[in-house]
Copies of this chain bind each other. A is one copy, B any other.
């Protein structure tokens, strides 16, 4: 009995939290005006008090929304990379999948473009590990990992920003991937193979 109540309560809590986060994402994606708590309360259709039961500041909600989105995204992309072992192929394919997700959802691109994955972020740490591995095998130029991260991340973020406001075609995104990989000094043959793999895997949902 008590267990049932507890479980129901937890589920309701999680539901409300999810509702607030999902309603908030389009607002974050849109950009422009400053967002206030009232905005989130309105779109999520909850009261101010309820908002405070879950998040104490707009920033806290933003971080939760970011985690939420990145978790989903990373799971999806990981699934697409299954079986690929070559670092260059994995890298190029992952970038292309990220971009593809943005291509199919302009609002989501707006959301991504506004994230701060700068120096010191978790994203940078993971990126660095993968890069180092590839450099050991001589697959990337010998450049500082921070520069490598900056050039790739900078290009990706700006590409999301463009996709947020303008419909984009697939071969343009191929070109973005080629440019990023060229900056890292990767073999263009391998990049083309990766793009071919992407095309095959994209087809199968």
Verify if A132 is at the interface (C-beta below 8 Å from B).
Answer: no
A144-B175, A158-B118 as given contacts; A151 in contact with B150, CB under 8 Å: no
Verify if A16 is at the interface (C-beta below 8 Å from B).
Answer: no
C-alpha gap A154/B152 in the complex (Å) = 8
One of B119, B154, B183 near A153 (C-beta < 8 A)? B154
A141-B182, A161-B118, A183-B182 as given contacts; A175 in contact with B147, CB under 8 Å: yes
A29 CB, min distance to chain B CBs, angstroms = 16
A interface: dominant SS: helix
C-alpha gap A24/B178 in the complex (Å) = 41
B172 pairs with A144, CB closer than 8 A: yes
B143 pairs with A151, CB closer than 8 A: no
C-alpha gap A175/B183 in the complex (Å) = 11
A175-B143, A175-B144, A179-B143 as given contacts; A158 in contact with B162, CB under 8 Å: no
C-alpha gap A185/B185 in the complex (Å) = 10
Verify if A157 is at the interface (C-beta below 8 Å from B).
Answer: yes
Q: List 30 A-B contacts (CB under 8 A).
A: A118-B158, A119-B158, A119-B161, A119-B162, A119-B165, A143-B178, A144-B175, A147-B155, A147-B159, A147-B176, A148-B179, A150-B154, A150-B155, A150-B162, A150-B176, A151-B151, A151-B154, A151-B158, A151-B179, A151-B180, A151-B183, A153-B154, A154-B157, A155-B155, A155-B183, A179-B183, A180-B183, A182-B182, A182-B183, A182-B185
